[in-house]
């Protein structure tokens, strides 16, 4: 009876679509927002992502909740911030070697693939996983949400996607979680881009070596793009493309200096492309402020269920998908940066006026977020070959508070926190952050995970293999979601 009512509800809700919409969710690994053609990098070869953008919506203000893999993916799956679902830090296959017990995940928390499965969808996961203790494969309670899981797909992680589509039951709507290994290093894709094709961000030194690495990274983006084209081709062959919602995002920024594992836009801003030929108009630009935790409630509402029946802290942005004149549904969104080889406790608040407030729980430490290119950058720094901006992650002590206008200062270079004309905005966002922190129970753990790698220019020795507790004290228990939503939302 419930299934019949669900189908009736969806038929009324979506009008011309007599069938439930299919969903293909594609997530890249270590891809920065500005490294695909539809976000302005015209030298990079991403024709299939460009077609998705042309056939739907390109969102320009979408942000993740964490700038590293595991917490970002877990946050998308649960519709909750990392501090509120138990997956705050990087899943690492090293833990079993050190006999470290992993904390529980998703305790009493809804997980949207399982919701779709219970609603009659065939659900499948293919490619990279990287959530939870068994980081290479979906396992335990998480696996229950999928009818099929695999970590196949070759070096790209994309090679089994078409086969999963071919093997799906044809009498059910489907949800696919397609996760690439591309463009995560090591970069193995065939050469497509030249050094001249590369756009070097100002916080990365423009050297021949860095251009070579960026070109290899571009090549992996192109390889992933080719696989996305194969998925679209198969959907068209199966005559389900028009009624399939395709959503493309990244889990965090490029695996380069001051990008991945950093709280700034270079690590936290994601591409967000949404295509649905049957319902979404072509060539739209969505400027609404969207958080990654909004995806889970959006998918649930998309299939006709009520987002408030679940433990999501995000809010459905389906109105933004279906109505390009819709206002922002979020007034504030929040992000975290926790351990990724180096101890870290950053938090940020972004608002609809284009400001981002950053709070640093450890201003006594340098700003190193991960070990990518650290040795190379030390070499350049010691020779005096880095600009002040490029060597900023080495600097300590750091500012406890930072304020930027991220829509104009796109790389977050000019900290406004000390300027008197921005006092009111600083106080507003600080107050909002403190309220969020209280609602979520977020605080620095007394037994936080230490540095596993040597922090540059520091005498403190790393403690590789030593684990600890997540921020706060098991803050991911369910509660206060309605208060959280009122804090983030405009209406």
Provide the pLDDT for residue 444. 92
Q: Which of 212-216, 221-225, 334-338, 443-447 has the lowest mean pLDDT?
A: 443-447
Provide the pLDDT for residue 474. 56
Q: How far is Cα 312 from Cα 393, in angstroms, rounded to an integer?
A: 34
Q: How many alpha carbons lie under 13 Å from residue 244 in its C-beta half-sphere?
A: 25
Q: Which of 6-20, 191-205, 258-272, 437-451 has the lowest mean pLDDT?
A: 6-20
Q: How far is Cα 217 from Cα 256, in angstroms, rounded to an integer?
A: 10
- In angstroms, the Cα distances linking 181 to 25, 109, 303 are 15, 27, 28
Average pLDDT value over all residues in the chain: 91
Question: What is the β-pairing status of strands 332-337 and 290-291?
Answer: unpaired
pLDDT at 421 over 70: yes
Peptide bond into 397 cis (omega under 30): yes
pLDDT at 449 over 80: yes
**pLDDT more than 90, % of the chain:** 79
Mean pLDDT score, 104-125: 90
In this structure, the answer to whether residues 212 and 326 fall within a common structural domain is yes
In this structure, the answer to whether residues 326 and 449 fall within a common structural domain is no
Provide the pLDDT for residue 304. 96
Provide the pLDDT for residue 481. 83
Closest CA to 251 of 237, 268, 264: 268
Q: How far is Cα 82 from Cα 88, in angstroms, rounded to an integer?
A: 5
Mean pLDDT score, 390-400: 97
C-beta of residue 192 within 8 angstroms of C-beta of residue 218 = yes
Beta-bridged to residue 358, according to DSSP, are 348, 402
Provide the pLDDT for residue 380. 98
Mean pLDDT score, 309-338: 92
Provide the pLDDT for residue 221. 98
Mean pLDDT score, 475-479: 65
In this structure, the answer to whether residues 227 and 212 fall within a common structural domain is yes
Provide the pLDDT for residue 85. 87
Closest CA to 132 of 178, 74, 192: 74
Question: What is the β-pairing status of strands 355-360 and 290-291?
Answer: unpaired
Length of the chain: 491
In this structure, the answer to whether residues 405 and 353 fall within a common structural domain is yes
pLDDT at 296 over 60: yes
Q: How far is Cα 321 from Cα 280, in angstroms, rounded to an integer?
A: 7
Which of these three, 278, 307, 331, is where a domain ends?
Answer: 331
Beta-bridged to residue 269, according to DSSP, are 63
Query: What stretch of H or E contains 105?
Result: none
Closest CA to 403 of 346, 348, 332, 336: 348
Which of these three, 313, 331, 349, is where a domain ends?
Answer: 331
**DSSP symbol at 436:** H
pLDDT at 2 over 60: no
**Structural domain span for residue 427:** 335-488
Cα torsion through 459, 346, 388, 217, rounded to 10: 100
In this structure, the answer to whether residues 319 and 362 fall within a common structural domain is no
In this structure, the answer to whether residues 260 and 342 fall within a common structural domain is no
pLDDT at 236 over 90: yes
pLDDT at 420 over 80: yes
Task: Encode 284-293: b = buried (16+ Cβ within 10 Å), e = exposed.
Answer: bebebbbbbb
- In angstroms, the Cα distances linking 250 to 30, 283, 456 are 7, 21, 28
Which of these three, 267, 302, 331, is where a domain ends?
Answer: 331
Domain count, the chain: 2
Provide the pLDDT for residue 389. 98
146: domain CATH number is: 3.40.720.10
In this structure, the answer to whether residues 372 and 459 fall within a common structural domain is yes
In this structure, the answer to whether residues 122 and 185 fall within a common structural domain is yes
In this structure, the answer to whether residues 218 and 168 fall within a common structural domain is yes
In this structure, the answer to whether residues 302 and 367 fall within a common structural domain is no
Beta-bridged to residue 355, according to DSSP, are 405
Say what the pTM is. Answer: 0.94
Sign of CA dihedral 121, 124, 130, 135: positive
In this structure, the answer to whether residues 355 and 325 fall within a common structural domain is no
């Amino acid at each position: 009876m419930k299934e019949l009512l669900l189908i009736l509800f969806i038929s009324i809700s979506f009008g011309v679509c007599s069938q439930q919409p299919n969903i293909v969710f594609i997530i890249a690994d270590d891809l920065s927002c500005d490294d695909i053609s539809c976000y302005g990098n015209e030298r990079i070869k991403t024709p299939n992502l460009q077609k998705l953008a042309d056939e739907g919506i390109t969102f320009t203000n979408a942000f993740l909740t964490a700038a590293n893999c595991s917490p970002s993916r877990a946050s998308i799956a649960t519709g909750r911030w990392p501090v509120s679902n138990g997956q705050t830090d990087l899943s690492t296959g090293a833990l079993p070697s050190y006999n470290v017990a992993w904390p529980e995940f998703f305790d009493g928390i809804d997980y949207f693939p399982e919701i779709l499965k219970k609603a009659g969808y065939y659900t499948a996961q293919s490619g990279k996983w990287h959530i939870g203790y068994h980081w290479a494969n979906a396992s335990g309670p998480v696996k229950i949400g999928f009818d099929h899981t695999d970590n196949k797909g070759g070096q790209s992680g994309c090679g089994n996607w078409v086969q999963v589509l071919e093997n799906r039951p044809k009498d059910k709507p489907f949800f696919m979680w397609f996760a690439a290994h591309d463009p995560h290093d090591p970069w193995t894709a065939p050469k497509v881009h030249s050094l001249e094709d590369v756009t070097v961000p100002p916080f990365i030194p423009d050297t021949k070596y860095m251009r070579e690495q960026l070109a290899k990274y571009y090549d992996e983006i192109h390889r992933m793009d080719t696989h996305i084209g194969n998925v679209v081709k198969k959907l068209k062959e199966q005559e389900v493309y028009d009624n399939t919602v395709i959503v493309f995002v990244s889990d965090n920024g490029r695996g380069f200096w001051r990008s991945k594992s950093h709280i700034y836009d270079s690590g936290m801003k994601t591409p967000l492309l949404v295509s649905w030929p049957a319902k979404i108009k072509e060539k739209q630009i969505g400027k609404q402020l969207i958080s990654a935790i909004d995806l889970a409630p959006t998918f649930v509402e998309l299939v006709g269920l009520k987002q408030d029946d679940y433990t999501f802290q995000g809010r459905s942005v389906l109105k933004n998908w279906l109505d390009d004149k819709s206002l922002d549904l979020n007034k504030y969104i929040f992000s975290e940066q926790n351990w990724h080889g180096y101890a870290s406790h950053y938090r940020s608040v972004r608002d609809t006026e284009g400001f981002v407030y950053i709070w640093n729980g450890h201003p006594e430490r340098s700003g190193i977020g991960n070990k990518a290119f650290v040795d190379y950058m030390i070499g350049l720094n010691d020779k005096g070959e880095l600009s002040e901006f490029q060597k900023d992650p080495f600097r300590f002590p750091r500012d406890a508070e930072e304020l930027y206008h991220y829509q104009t200062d796109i790389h977050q270079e000019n900290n406004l926190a000390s300027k008197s004309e921005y006092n009111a905005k600083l106080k507003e966002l600080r107050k909002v952050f403190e309220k969020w922190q209280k609602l979520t129970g977020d605080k620095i753990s007394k037994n936080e995970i230490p540095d596993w790698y040597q922090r540059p220019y520091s005498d403190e020795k790393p403690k590789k293999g030593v684990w600890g507790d997540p921020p706060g004290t098991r803050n991911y228990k369910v509660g206060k979601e309605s208060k959280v939503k009122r804090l983030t939302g405009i209406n």
